[in-house]
Structure 1
Amino acid sequence: MALLFLCDGEDADVWSAALRAEIDDLDIRVWPVGVGDPHDIDVALTWQPPRGVLASFPNLKAILSLGAGVEHILRDPELPPGVPVVRLIDPGLKSGMVEFVTMEVLAHHRRVSEYRAQQAAGEWRLLRQTLSRDRRVGILGMGHLGTACGEVLSRFGFPVAGWSRSEKDIPGIESFSGEDGLFALLERTDVLVCLLPLTPETEDILDATTLGALPPGAALINAARGMHVVDDDLINLLDSRHLSGATLDVYREEPLPPHHPFWTHPKIVMYPHAAAWTLPESASPVIADNIRRTRTGQKCIGQVDTRRGY
């Protein structure tokens, strides 16, 4: 039995050391040059695997994502059927996302971008401030990350509501679900946070219709996937002043092309997909646990419904 490490751009030596600190005799094969006999591979740890590669391992029993999302795995039309796909539920990644979302909600709430622009212009002017209890936050996607962000934001005094496929019961967070629930949430939201999984149903969900349903002056934070946002619609709503600003961590194409209008838009704050990182020191215990579970016939923590995409 061997683990396949199929993560282009990641340091295989660092990850191997961290994983062997959890399972000292773990056999790790690094794609593409160190795979050996493909029949040995029973678990794959991967991020953005090339099309068809995973189908070449006949004894594969689990596919573990090196991140919270799994769309990079599920989009492979040659994905081996019946093999469990597992998203990463990493306490470090969760902590990073909570920090990022809280930071950006507070930045929109306290009008940080406007004060920075005034500083650059040499302008001294107080901007009207709103109490946190009067700044309504809406979160799209109330899974592991969305719930954690909502719980922290509610402790700052923000009225928090969340939208998901099915209704949730989370103390202190108002729950919305379904298409009607989506627009009900949007209409009561001043800062919208997108943490949705990327599926065929959620692609392009943030378009002129949905973003236009937000109250005038609302702001957007997208830390999910770039394919959730229709870029031109977002720019039009910012230019018309219907939206006051947007924080973007993810994009349809990454790295973002140098001539994309997001780079120079005065109402957009950009990050290079940096909201929350998967770090070996926090993720390795979780990954090791799922390797053990796979090899003892137990269900992995974070196994997704491949039909739904999450």
Structure 2
Amino acid sequence: MEFRKLGESDLEVSAITFGAWAAGGWMWGHTERSEAVAAIRAAYDHGMTSIDTAPIYGQGTSEEIVGEAIKDLPRDQVQILTKFGLRWDLNKGEHYFDSQDNEGKDIAIYKYSGKESIIAECENSLKRLGTDYIDLYQIHWADSTTPIDESFEAVAQLIQQGKVRQAGVCNYDVAQMTQAEQAVSLVSNQIPFSMVNRGVEDETVPFCIEQNKSVLAYSPMERGLLTGKITPDYKFQEGDHRANHPHFQPDFLQKTNDFLNKIKPIADEKNASLSQLVLRWTIERPGITIALAGARNAEQAIQNAKAIDVKLSAEELAFISSHVEKLYV
């Protein structure tokens, strides 16, 4: 595995980091706790020592699973990345959307990052994770009802108390990052980035390069779209949010699979899967520090970790990128 520093900090994370959203089950149809734990342990055994989670993933379930998976591992050799700012248990702040929890109960999701809420969320996360500190604490989404400096003064307090090592953001634009920096030094921005979703390269990624902030790319596989395994007639499980997503409609799926067929010979030549090729391309992209990759079982986690073994020449990267550029012209 390759390890990369976040921003100007001394926090190093695995270039391919375990993304634990699906492990929580919520919006992914279901979760099998034992398989999720096995996936995280397998990832760790193959060098993916960094795990990204959030309280909202399964309304605490994902963090609990992470805590169970790492309880016997050396804490200083695991990097826990989690988040704050999405509440399902408190009707306060900016209403985000309505959903159902893993038991089918209706819940309302709110973006709320008031100081007292962040302090409480941190304590709850520490308990679920079974640890006394979080390596990277990130705001999940901007909360329009709370001043940014108030939110990050709370994070700065948690850093002073030793409960958080470093501060990051998710889904922030340049102006929001600049404002947050007034209260605390940020090391990273976790933003959506994939071969079919590159809007962040217009402004946010160049800013992060200039300011030496790391970019954590989430959904680099575009929720499984770029595996090449999802065909236009694919049937999603009940509760899987992808069923109605624009990227998973027949026309888009066909265009994507046509593109993947063009780059598949490179994967075949290296005895690698399309997923591994896509992950390797992602972490070679200018400005991208790490890629988050989810897994529902141990075998998927091991395959994600092995993407680091794929070596791409400058010519091969250019070839793939040229087809990425032409993808939806």
Highest relative contact order (Cα 8 Å, sep 6+), 1 or 2? 2
Under a length normalisation based on structure 1, what TM-score does the superposition of the two structures give? 0.33
Larger Rg over CA atoms: 1
Under a length normalisation based on structure 2, what TM-score does the superposition of the two structures give? 0.31
